[in-house]
Amino acid sequence: MEPEKIKDLFLRSLSSDIDGNEREVLERELFTDHRFSEGFGEKLMKKITSAKVLINGKHDLARSFDSIFMRVAIPAAAAVVILVISILLSQGSLSYDTLLGIDNEVDGVLISLLAE
C-alpha cells in the first residue's frame, strides 16, 4: 500500500470511525510487531507464584515482618560480633561469664548475699 494512503488512513482513524476492513489494513501495515516475546505468560506466572505476589496484600503483614526482621537482625548480628571481638581483645579469652558480663568475683558476692 502507498505510504500516502497509509498515512491518510492513520490520521483519519484519529478523528473518525474507520470500518473493519480499514482497521485490518491499518493493523497489518503499522502495528503487527507489537507482541511480547515467546514465553511471556510462563515467565509472568512463574514470577507471580514464586515471588509470592499476593492478592490485595493478603500476607503483606507477614512480608512487612520479614523486612523489619531483616532490618533488626543484621545490626543485631553485627553488634554481637563487635561485642565478641571487644571481649576477646580486652579479656584475652572468651567464656560464658565474660559474654554475659559476670566475672568470678560476682559469684562470691552473690553467694554471700544469699547466705545473709
Partner 1 sequence: MVKYDYTNSDDQDLVLQTLDGDNRAFNEIIRRYKNMVARTVKSMLGDVQQAEDVGQDTFIRLYKNLKDFRGDAKLSTYLQRIAINQSLNEIRRSRRFLSLFYRSDDKEDIRETELSSGEEERAKDIKDYVNMAISKLDPDFRTVVVLRAIHGYSTKETAEILELPVGTVLSRLSRAKDHLKELLKDLE
For partner 1, the binding residues in 77-116 under the rule CB under 8 A are none
Told to check if 11 binds partner 1 by CB under 8 A, we report: yes
For partner 1, the binding residues in 19-48 under the rule CB under 8 A are 23, 26, 29-37, 40-41, 43-45, 47-48
Three-state SS for the chain is CCHHHHHHHHHHHHHCCCCHHHHHHHHHHHCCCCCCCCCHHHHHHHHHHHCCCCHHHCCHHHHHHHHHHHHHHHHHHHHHHHHHHHHHHHHCCCCHHHHHCCCHHHHHHHHHHHHC
Told to check if 17 binds partner 1 by CB under 8 A, we report: yes
Q: Specify the stretch interacting with partner 1 by CB under 8 A; choose among 8-16, 68-76, 79-87, 92-100.
A: 8-16
Q: Footprint of partner 1 on this chain (CB under 8 A)?
A: 1, 3-4, 6-7, 10-11, 13-15, 17-18, 23, 26, 29-37, 40-41, 43-45, 47-49, 53-57
